[in-house]
Amino acid sequence: MTADTLSAAPARTTVRKVTGRRVLRSEWAKFWSLRSSWITLGVALFLLMLFGAIASATYSPDALPSDGPPGPGAGGDSDAVSLALTGVTFASLAIGVLGVLLSAGEYSTGMIRSTLAAVPRRLPVLWSKSAVIGAIALVLTTIAALAAFQLGALGLDGEKIALSLSDDGVLRSLAGAGAYLGLVAVFGVALGVLIRSSSGAIAALVGILLILPGLASLLPDSLYDTMNPYFPSNAGSAVYALQESSDSLSPGAGLAVFAGWVALTLAGAAYRLARTDA
């Protein structure tokens, strides 16, 4: 065989099978390569710790009514956990936006076509995005919740409501905050894939988590009292409540209800991703 024949021979290429593990690694690398991921995640963690520390440092029992304010974990009087987790609402918006940007952002830039060309089965892309951001949000926000509680303990030193990590329910509540925020991140991914517009998905996220419970208050009282605990944000707040109030779900039930909302949205996103063109 001559040198000319060798040079004319086609080069062999190695074709690697698309597997769930490889798609997961790809989405992991994609997440950390985006500057918006670092910034938005950092903002969420900062807000969670900042508001918790401020609420604890400025706490004054004389300034509160006897029945206490409504808030995270408050079924009666305020407690150290509810103050430390004051920033969960703000952090949930940032984490949800991060999930939206991770999914809907690819539709805005057109990168979704390259992604789906590499993963023709499509659905592993959705599962991998959800798993990556859900795990990252779960771990980091749980750590941030612990940090917020420890910072708040400094401001509550000597107060009657002060608690320690060894007290009943404290670690469960802080871990519940991380679980809730991890699910919010997955919720954002699902909304992004379902709506395929960053602005539209963010508007839907804010509307569902913040505006919907307020609009529901216009319903007749009997209907509102029945529905109120099952709204996504209310069910989610029950997950990290230290004290279970009479008009809210238990932590386990709240987790199941909010996870159900997320699963339903993921199912809709999966259907659209599989059935319609990018």
Helices 123-155 and 20-33: crossing angle in degrees, nearest 10, is 50
* pLDDT at site 216: 85
- Cα distance between residue 229 and residue 249, in whole Å: 6
Question: Binning pLDDT at 50, 70 and 90, where does residue 191 land?
Answer: very high
- Region 238-258: mean pLDDT is 91
Report the b/e string of 126-165 with b at 16+ CB within 10 A: bbbbbbbbbebbbebbbebbbbbbbbbbebbeebebbbee
- Cα distance between residue 258 and residue 237, in whole Å: 9
Query: Each residue of 14-29: pLDDT tens digit?
Result: 556 778 788 999 999 9
* pLDDT at site 2: 52
Mean pLDDT of the chain: 87
Alpha carbon 20 to chain centroid distance? 23
> One-letter amino acid identity for 161?
I
Query: Each residue of 214-234: pLDDT tens digit?
Result: 888 888 888 888 899 999 999
Between 65 and 244, name the one with better pLDDT: 244
Contact between 164 and 71 under an 8 Å Cβ cutoff? The reply is no
Question: Binning pLDDT at 50, 70 and 90, where does residue 87 land?
Answer: very high
Query: Each residue of 112-133: pLDDT tens digit?
Result: 888 888 888 889 999 999 999 9
- Region 243-267: mean pLDDT is 93
The enclosing H or E element of 115 equals: helix 111-118
- Cα distance between residue 234 and residue 88, in whole Å: 12
Question: Binning pLDDT at 50, 70 and 90, where does residue 62 land?
Answer: low
Between 219 and 252, name the one with better pLDDT: 252
Question: Binning pLDDT at 50, 70 and 90, where does residue 172 land?
Answer: very high
Phi-psi region of 64 (alpha: psi -120 to 50; beta: other; left: phi over 0): beta
Query: Each residue of 136-148: pLDDT tens digit?
Result: 999 999 999 999 9
Strand boundaries in the chain, DSSP class E = none
* pLDDT at site 198: 93
Question: Binning pLDDT at 50, 70 and 90, where does residue 49 land?
Answer: very high
* pLDDT at site 76: 39
